[in-house]
């Protein structure tokens, strides 16, 4: 079974995808980590991300070289890496380099039972034939509070206003890019998590998945 989960940052899609995969014994791929890994490695190699188009060849090479599962996950959650990931993700060549890796994971998940992929273009581009698709969203103020709480564990210098500005900028870039923008697939089930906790979202989604099994 293939489950596609899309939505903006801090919508709750990652927590949902992970817990859903555990509940059903499926494998989980957080596709944002792929873009984050490309961005982290590019920053480490001093690739100029002010002009991602001009650096397409170097970025594409980094993307091609990624092997799943990622061995090195250091630094992927940093705010700076998240912003850079959104920039590298706007390049069609980088996205193309990562498509086959994501599809291959979904087609042959290690458990052999099923796969849950979360990201921005899973239902629209990566797995258009997924068995079930969800689009998870929440009010931007709620998302900013969640992400601020999460990031402040490692970095208490970030203000809520900075996190809100960061999410707003990233949303705009992810939704307006020419290639694979963040939009709900026509057949995605829309869930607003603004007033739901993680357990409520999981129960709701799990019951919908059970109906499709």
Q: Site residues (CB under 6 A) for ligand DC?
A: 9, 31-32, 35-36, 82, 85-86, 89, 119-121, 170, 174
Min separation Cβ 122 and ligand DC, Å: 6
How many Å is the maximal CA-CA distance in the chain? Answer: 49
CB of 71 or CB of 211, closer to ligand DC: 71
CB of 40 or CB of 170, closer to ligand DC: 170
CB of 85 or CB of 209, closer to ligand DC: 85
Min separation Cβ 211 and ligand DC, Å: 26
Min separation Cβ 213 and ligand DC, Å: 25
CB of 127 or CB of 211, closer to ligand DC: 127
Min separation Cβ 182 and ligand DC, Å: 7
CB of 36 or CB of 133, closer to ligand DC: 36
Min separation Cβ 80 and ligand DC, Å: 12
């Amino acid at each position: 079974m293939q489950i596609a989960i899309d939505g903006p940052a801090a919508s709750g899609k990652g927590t949902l995808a992970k817990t859903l995969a555990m509940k059903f014994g499926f494998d989980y791929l957080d596709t944002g980590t792929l873009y984050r890994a490309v961005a982290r490695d590019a920053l480490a190699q001093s690739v100029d991300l002010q002009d991602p188009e001009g650096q397409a060849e170097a970025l594409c090479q980094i993307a091609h070289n990624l092997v799943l599962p990622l061995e090195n996950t250091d630094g992927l959650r940093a705010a700076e890496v998240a912003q850079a990931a959104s920039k590298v993700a706007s390049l069609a060549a980088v996205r193309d380099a990562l498509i086959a890796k994501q599809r291959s994971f979904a087609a042959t998940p290690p458990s052999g039972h099923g796969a849950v992929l979360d990201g921005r273009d899973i239902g629209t581009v990566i797995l258009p034939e997924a068995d079930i698709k969800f689009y998870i969203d929440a009010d931007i103020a709620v998302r900013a509070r969640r992400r601020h709480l999460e990031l402040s564990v490692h970095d208490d210098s970030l203000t809520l206003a900075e996190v809100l500005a960061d999410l707003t900028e990233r949303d705009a870039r992810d939704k307006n890019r020419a290639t694979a923008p963040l939009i709900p697939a026509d057949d995605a089930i829309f869930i607003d998590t603004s007033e739901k906790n993680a357990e409520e979202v999981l129960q709701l989604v799990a019951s919908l998945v059970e109906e499709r099994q």
